[in-house]
Every structure is written in structure tokens, then in C-alpha cells.
Chains A and B, each alone.
Chain A
């Protein structure tokens, strides 16, 4: 049966693991935000080798499971002389995987910027870089912020997959507690509740940001 005293005793250990989960999410997502933008821009490159190459990478990453990619990075890379810690491999895997998805989000935002904005930028003789930084991207990104936020939450909920490459995040911690004490109920319930609180909390926060930005 449920034991409150056991629940309280394992809480600190799970909260400690939560830090790893959150950190992996933040670093992985930051990587994906930048990587996704690079892929979105690469896909639009005039050079066909670059644009086709980028499209190929995106398709490849989106069509293979995250778990396979993580195994490849963690267990496969040492064979070619690159050994990554569970955290590095995990963050890299999440980052690459979500870069591919976010590149599509950026692309939809960029496609939605009216043609007149590009033409006005050209007529004012902006360089390509200035045009992207100051005219196109600010208009492309703002409307897709809710979608980006949604992917942040999806990625957060997918972090337990990192336990498969031995990263001691919340799920693996709960499993280890269970294996030691033969009490699984409390540990997994706590993990579930913590995920719920954090996901729901972030979605509320994102909705508030969205409202604030749509007003200004």
C-alpha cells in the first residue's frame, strides 16, 4: 500500500534527478532552436548541394526513432573514437532530433512572411544578413512561438527515453529506487506528478507569453 513516509524519504532523490531532466531539456532545446534555424535556412540556400543535403538530413532525422539515434550516438560513436557522456549524448540526440522538427516550424513561419517584405528589403538595399536578422526572422518567428513552446513541452516529456542510455534522470532514478526497495508505486507516481506539474506549468506560462506578445 501507499506509504507516505517512504514517499517523503525518496522525494529528495527524485527532485535531484529532476534537475538533470530539466537541464537536459533546456540545453537540448537551445540546441534545437539554433539547429532548427540553421536547417531551415540551409534548405533555402541557392546552392543546390546545400539545400538538398539539408533536406536529406531533415528527412533522415524525422524518419528514424529518437531511441535509435540515441543508441547510435552513445553506443555507436565510441567505435569511431568519440565517447560521449550520457548527458552529452542525450542532449545532442534530443537537439538534433528536434532541430529537424523545429526547422519545419521555422519554415512555415518564413513562408508566411509576405513577399512585399522581401521586396521592400531589397528596394532599400539591405544585405542578405541584415534582411534576415531585422526584417524576415522577427516576423517569421513571432507567430510560431506557440508551436515552438509546444515542442519544448513535448521534448520535456520525452526525456525519460534518455534513461535508455543510462542518464540518471527522473525515470531511471524511480526505477532504481524500485529495484532497491521493491516499492515502485510511490516512485513512479511522484515522477508522473512532477512531469504533470512542470508540463502544465510551462504550458500556462507559454500561453501567458503568447497573450502578452499578441497584444504588443
Chain B
């Protein structure tokens, strides 16, 4: 008699254990969680596939948008290439594939998906591990989630897209005209944008170097890519795609400044902004300056204030070397002065909204020729791209002048004409080697100098979403070598540095110093979170 109760006891234990194993298996195939962006299943349209109900019944994540089936290992193992394929599942017609953006990224590696017209996708050259997947499809909620790849050579992940709340948007002036068309009449073709957030914005964002601000938010403004349409009085201002049901907040921005915002309520079918043109014009700044060279005022010099994408406003100096530039967009501006007999003066300015900025006298040096050679550790010339920034014209949190470069030829030789200043120089070889040099060209003639490029390691940088951080790497003497700006949505970046000791200083978008630390690069990549 005692055997049976013991047997039942053992069975009970075995059953519990087996249930535990079964439950854990269930957890493995359950849907991955999509962060905190809890998209309710109830939001799915009536055509949502039946499988969503399975997840709901199991009490899985409310973001039941993805289902995965991992096929067996086709021979791959850790370290080998992995392909992730699947389908973007929709309950409505699939949009044009050219308009879909899907990518995966991990530790500085970025891979984009190939999308078929029928909604199939494939991402290749991946490796086992956890990747960040982002998917933007017009008319559907943006997806941004983590997915872990195993060692299987070909793996499958079907992604179910849920329809976004799509609302037509219009931005009109107080007299009923289309604001964008009115702005193009004043020469403003860029800068206007709409962001969607879960909470109301308080104040402006930090100044951006881009023509318009890009934040992930809880939705996006989708408009025609046709530039000609910007100027059309009856043109289309596009739609707002909401990743979560209202209430949410939509704000019209001029670069980083908030022109207007409103709450979008449940049941709202369109969004209509009315903005006084004068309110936009009040954000424009005025910049005045006088250019002076060794022989006095510099006339007819060309001044340009532009965004990272170009455009912007400019003007010429008069006979007294004075220039007044109106309608300057607020934000971070690339500031260039071109005069035939002077240096190419290039730096950045932070322009406050509505500012009347008097830069005073800007003294240009005579043109100076810098001749150098990029060499490897063995002294052999190396073809490379060479960038240079005048140290005394740079200040944090501005970028260095890394959007211009000259080429060192196959012997490593290069020559460039700029001014008579101290320059921080960076050489980037095609094979990834990096080198720095600080050259004092303030006393002519400058001797030919060398930049030695060495194998480099990546310092991967990241910062919290919606924030702007600026990482400045300096050498032991405090000379700036590299500046990396992580702006809002693009909160990841990397810097390549050869082995050595550096100083890493972090600033916010307005130039406030947030911290500084010694940075040692020694034979391996590093990761830094910029808080």
C-alpha cells in the first residue's frame, strides 16, 4: 500500500518538472516584448490575423505583433553569417516596397533589409546575438524591438504590422494660405517639420545641426518627397502616422524650435495648424559682421550660413567689409566666409531664435598652403582622406569641419590651401587606419608635415533617447581630435581611435559640460554610454 502513494508522489514531482520545462519552452517561442510601447491588441483592425488571439489568450505581451519560427540549424554556428527572413504581414494592401525602411543594428553594425513587392523581407550578413530591429512602413506603426538570433544559418521572423492612426495634416497661415508655400517665397525650403510625442513639449529642443529635427516620438509626419510640391499653394502637407491611439501631441517645429503644438484627441479625423507667418519670421535671426584682413576691410566676400544638409542664407560684404544677413534659421549653422585673397574661414555658430547677432570684426588671415604626407607606421605613404579644423575657431558643442576633406594620393601626399592658424588634422585611410596631427601654420611658411595612420578601434557611443549629447575627444594637450554629435533619434555613433590615451568630454546640445574622463584605447573596441 505504501508503494502507490510514493509512486503518486514521484509522479506529481515529475509532472511538475515536466510542466516547468514545457512552460519554459513556451516562453522561448512566445512573442518578444516590444519595449514599453504597449500597443494593445484591441487596437488591431478587424482584419487582424487570428494568431493574435492565440497570444492574447496566453497572456503574452500586449504588443503581439511578431511571431517567430526558428528553423533548424542549416550548418551554421556562432561566428558564421546568418540570414533573417520573413514576411511583413498586413491586413490591408501592402505599400510600395521602395517606401519601406527596415534595418537591424548591433554594436555599430547596421544591415538593411531587402523587401519584396509581396512583403517578404531578408536581412543578411548578421551574426548570432541580439539585434535591434526597426521597421517603418507607410500607414503602419513603427516597430523598434530587439530580436535574438541563434546560430542557425537561415532564420525566420514574421512581423505583423498594425495599422497606424493616420490623420491628414495641414499647416496654414492666419489668412488661410499654405505655410510651407509661403515660406518658400522667402527662400525657406527646409526647416519645417512635425513631431509627435506622448506628452506635451515644454520649450524648444536643443539646437540641431540638421535642417529639421528627427525624433522617434510616438508617430511621424509623412509628406511627399517631391521638392517642387513644397512651393505649391494647394500642395499636400502630408499625414501624421500615430504609433499609439490618441491622445498624443503634435508640434510644428522650425528646426529645433516649437512653432505650435496641439493635443490630438480620440476620434479626431484630421489635424489643422494655424500659424501666423509673423511668428515664423520672429524666429529668424539676423547676423551682422565686419570682415577684416591684413590690408583692412574685405569687400565682396561671400558669407554663407547653412545647415548640415546645405541650403540656408548668405550674403556679401560691402565696401566696408560689413555684411548683414537676414532670415537666418535658428539652430546650429555652418558658417563659411569665402574671399579670393583670404583664408577659407569655416566654423559653426549657434543661432538663437530671433537673435540679432553681432559677430563684430572677424579677422581673416592670408591664404596659407599646408603640405603633408600620410604615412603608415612603417613610414610608407598611404592614400587617405584628410580633414582639418582650425583649433582657435572651434568650440564645443560644435562639430569639427568633417564635411570637407582633401585626398592624399597613392604616395600619401596632399596639399590644401586654408589660412594661417593652428589646425587639428585627421587622416582616414581606406583600410580603416586613423591618424591625427596638430599643425601650427600661424607662421608661414609651414614645413611639410606627416600624419601617421595606425590601426584603430571603435569607441561606440550611445545616449538616452530624445537627448542630444556631444562627445569631444582631445589629446593630452587638450587639442580637439574628434567630435561626435548624437542627436535625438540617432542616439548611437562611434569614433575610431588608435591605441593611446585621450580625454573624453561630454556636453549637452547647448554646450554645458556634463562630464569628462580619461579614455584609454588599448587593443579593443570600447562602449560608452553618454548620460
Do they bind each other?
no
B residues contacting A by CB (< 8 A) are none
